[in-house]
Amino acid sequence: MFSSAPAPWTTADIPPQHGRTVIVTGATSGLGYETARMLVEAGARVVLAVRDTARGDAVAAELGGAASVAHLDLADLTSVRAFAAGVEGPVDVLVNNAGLMAVPQGRTADGFETQLGVNFLGHFALTGLLLDRITDRVVTLSSVAHRIGRIDLDDLNTDRRRYERWTAYGQSKLACLMFAYDLQHRFVAAGSRLRSMAAHPGYAATNLQSRTESFQDALMGVLNRTIAQSGTAGALPTLYAATVADLPGGTYVGPGGIGEMRGAPRPVGSTAASHDRRVQRGLWERAEELTGVTVPL
């Protein structure tokens, strides 16, 4: 007899989350909002870690009493430290979701290239500062754009290179993925039961595609309306990585369709560069040096 293929994983497959606490960064819109909404619907208590607390309050009011709001600006390490200091009690899952894509050249409050600072370094610092309170797993968002990324350990912040927005985005998302993998290696080496996962949404229609401040905003707006999957569908890989109970640490989850652009979530592969242990270790050391945060493993 032929066995049938497993049914696609959907929101109906999210395990009950009652009694669990999840922090979701960037939860006022897009993937973060959808992730938070579905976790609350599954029974979790969700902390909306957001830069705009007025918008966060509106989302929390919509989601009900299981959602709370705390200020977090990943472009400012002072804010990251203040947020972490205010987190009381255990946190089952940290979802490192917030991000920027293909924005004009800029600098964070600490002088980091904006995309690297927000997408990677802010989340690296946040994870390190919260790790003593995390009880289950960390989920870090990457992108199919990690495939165009290259880690330049000698010029992470594009101080000497000519800035190119998509190259910078690719580097930041490759850094996120390498961080997720290296964190899992370190959990295993330390004998920790914690797990580190990574996820990417494929091509999902969110407000990320409207911040390039160039003609590309209009082009991506058309693509959002014609070929992109919804924000809800784009959040499914994150939810899979955050909630599937027996998922092995180090798993990378993305859409299962052609080119990983859309479709039901499943474990996916990544580039050989993302698994380079020498560069992973070098990136970790540079991140500790730049942020001043030593991850306690």
Per-residue pLDDT tens for 86-144? 999 999 999 999 999 999 999 999 999 999 999 999 999 999 999 999 999 999 999 99
Enzyme catalytic residues: 169
Q: Which residue has the higher pLDDT, 240 or 221?
A: 240
On the question of pLDDT at 211 being above 70, the answer is no
For 272-296, the pLDDT digits (tens) are 999 999 999 999 999 999 999 998 8
Rounded mean pLDDT, 185-210: 87
Non-local CB neighbours of 41 within 8 Å, separated by 6+ positions: none
pLDDT at res. 22? 98
0.85 exceeded by pTM: yes
On the question of pLDDT at 216 being above 70, the answer is no
Rounded mean pLDDT, 51-61: 98
pLDDT at res. 80? 98
pLDDT at res. 210? 46
3.40.50.720, 3.20.20.70, 1.10.760.10, 2.60.120.620: which CATH number matches 11-290?
A: 3.40.50.720
pLDDT at res. 217? 58
pLDDT at res. 209? 41
Domain ranges of the chain: 11-290
pLDDT band of 1, cuts 50, 70, 90? very low
pLDDT band of 229, cuts 50, 70, 90? confident
For 251-260, the pLDDT digits (tens) are 999 999 988 8
pLDDT band of 187, cuts 50, 70, 90? very high
Please state, rounded to an integer, the average pLDDT across all residues of the chain.
Answer: 92
pLDDT at res. 297? 80
